[in-house]
Amino acid sequence: MWTFARTSGPGPQFTVIGGYFVKRSGETEESASVEPDKSGAVVRLTDGHCDLIGAARDVFDYPPADMPAAKLKELANDAVCRYSRAFGAYQKLIAALKRQHIESSSLSLILKDAFFAPSNPSNPCSLPR
């Protein structure tokens, strides 16, 4: 399992995760297969409990009523920070998105703002999370 974004601070913590599914088709371990999770998920961590909120893209496109908008924005900003670090710089991240033909028009407003209009593109990790 990988963490793609997470919130911090008081209250419930939200995390965008991805990894693998273990599909069990029978009674033995040998009949299990592993598949990558192509959509990821958002989970809420509260007092030692982990609750599935939904598929990552769905949560950003159609935020649940019980998820604070500030936490969703914080997740989006943290994702930009993590991806910028992974690609070596924010500008390299944006270049990779363009090479893959990922346009801002295909993203939810909150992701579009975080990825394509950050308030500090030279250092997206300095943004409040």
What would the two tokens of residue 94 be?
């944006």
Residue 10 is predicted with a pLDDT of 85
How far apart, in whole angstroms, are the C-alpha atoms of residue 21 and residue 11? 29
Domain regions of the chain by residue span: 2-126
**Mean pLDDT to the nearest integer, 55-73:** 92
pTM value?
0.82
Instruction: Determine which of 5-14, 30-39, 61-70, 120-129 has the lowest per-residue pLDDT on average.
Output: 120-129
How far apart, in whole angstroms, are the C-alpha atoms of residue 128 and residue 9? 11
